[in-house]
Structure 1
Amino acid sequence: MPKRLPSLSGYGLGWSTRQRITVIAIGLTVLLALAATVALFTGRTGNSASHTNTPTGARSTASASAGPTVSAGAGSVAKPPPLADPVAFAKAAAAMVWSYDTRTTSRSEQLAGMKAWLTAETKYADWPSIAAQVPDPVLWSRMADQDQYATATVSEAHYPSAFKQALADDPDAITEAYIYAVTVTGKQQIAWKQGGAGAEDRSITLAVQCRPNANCSLVSIAPHVVP
């Protein structure tokens, strides 16, 4: 049976308590300190699913961009938009991560397209957490055999409370790396051969970098959704 892209909730900045303490203690970067704070307050992703003719055992990737539906059906992954607002960029990034089209896009193209969103500052970039969202070659091939594709729409995005509290405690901290945590929620529509279709609600927390006078870029995908 065809399978969809795996859930985002199990990947990313899954640091242990000891690692968080170590990171803060040695003061590596403000990014890691803020990410540790956010991770401390995370909860598991709550997915409320509603499917029609959904293949047994299939799972979907989800949500995406405020406004019009976002699709990877043009034959390539959506390009990063020239946005300077963290929330607006996070909405677009969620749409990119959760949209795909195996009919027109190979796995290597999917990865290359996603990497174009990654920050160029390697000390902050967490590429593994993003690349992990793409299935292995065998699973991608099976999805392609079923002409599986997904589009997504965003319903809401906000700064999680833990991130806002961290900024309130130290307003100047953000100026070190200008990395923001944004939680995005929305819905994904999936379709495959012979009229198969499904829809599912999704939520995700992203770390995005938006330096002054520069376009935003993607830093990481958190392992859990932050309130």
Structure 2
Amino acid sequence: MLVRRRALLGSLVLVVLVAFAGVLAYVTRDGRETTSPTAASASSAGPSAPAASPTPDGHPKELPGPPSTHDPIAFAKAAAVALWSYDTRSSSQPELVASLHRWLTSEGQFVDADSVDRLVPSPVLWGRMADSGQFATATADEAHFPDRFAKALQADPGAITQAYVYAVTVSGKQSIAWNGSPAGGAEDRSATLAVQCRPDRPCALAGVLPTVAP
């Protein structure tokens, strides 16, 4: 079932980037993903706060949850920050996974949780990272609809209304630090997310595309 879902997600991503007509055909099938409402400006809404870090009294802060928005661009930026952030000093690996699952759409037949889980370090690697107190913060500096997706949306705006799935490419930076190296280092990050924003509910994450769409 998991393999089938991955294949369906890959098919959805490809179809969405090529033409909306494919999305309509896709969502009538047995299982796959979700999307969001009409697009907002790529400059709208900044990222959410990074993953939890200890408070002065040593107790961990709550890991960030999804924002309540109907803007797929704003949601994608916030989701990217959550996906690129972690803190082994204050959270366990299962806690981070559970926190990220809160961002996922509740429509089980459309969600690809595994595409999110693959971005989290394994329990063994997490343990090694925790030994050195490693943590990462992130920023999402820009987000947009991939070019082919935007052109397809312009050509047939109504074709997405059954699936409400939007592909959003986010670019930003991830900064990693650890004990003895508080400055750490930073690197550019980018990802294309599948976001669901149905008109009657806030946006949710459907999955992470396997490749970045320009």
Shorter-chain TM-score above 0.5: yes
Deviations 1:153-186 (A, max 9, x none): 1111001112112223332121112111110001
Match of 1:86 in 2: 72
For 2:53, the aligned partner's letter is: G
The unaligned stretches of length 5 or more in structure 2 are: 1-7, 17-21, 34-44, 55-59
Match of 1:211 in 2: 198
Q: Is 1:27 matched up with 2:14?
A: no
Match of 1:133 in 2: 119
SS at match of 2:185: strand
Where do 1:186-201 residues align within 5 Å? 186-195=172-181, 197-201=184-188
SS at match of 1:172: helix
CA, structure 1 residues 188+116, in 2 after alignment: closer, same or farther (shift >3 Å)?
same
CA RMSD of aligned residues (A): 3.0
Match of 1:49 in 2: none
Aligned pair count? 181
Q: Is 1:70 matched up with 2:50?
A: yes
Structure-1-length-normalised TM-score: 0.71
Q: Is 1:165 matched up with 2:164?
A: no
Partners of 1:67 and 1:191 lie apart in 2 by 20
Deviations 1:105-154 (A, max 9, x none): 00110110000000011121011101111121110100111100011111
Larger RCO (CA within 8 A; separation ≥ 6)? 1
The unaligned stretches of length 5 or more in structure 1 are: 1-11, 36-64
Q: CA deviation at 1:206?
A: 0.3
SS at match of 1:205: strand
For 2:116, the aligned partner's letter is: I
Partners of 1:205 and 1:31 lie apart in 2 by 23
Deviations 1:91-118 (A, max 9, x none): 0000000000000000110110000000
Q: Is 1:109 matched up with 2:108?
A: no
Structure-2-length-normalised TM-score: 0.75
Q: Is the 8 A contact 1:70 1:152 kept in 2?
A: yes
Partners of 2:164 and 2:82 lie apart in 1 by 22
Q: Is the 8 A contact 2:192 2:212 kept in 1?
A: yes
Q: Report % sequence identity.
A: 49
Partners of 1:70 and 1:181 lie apart in 2 by 22
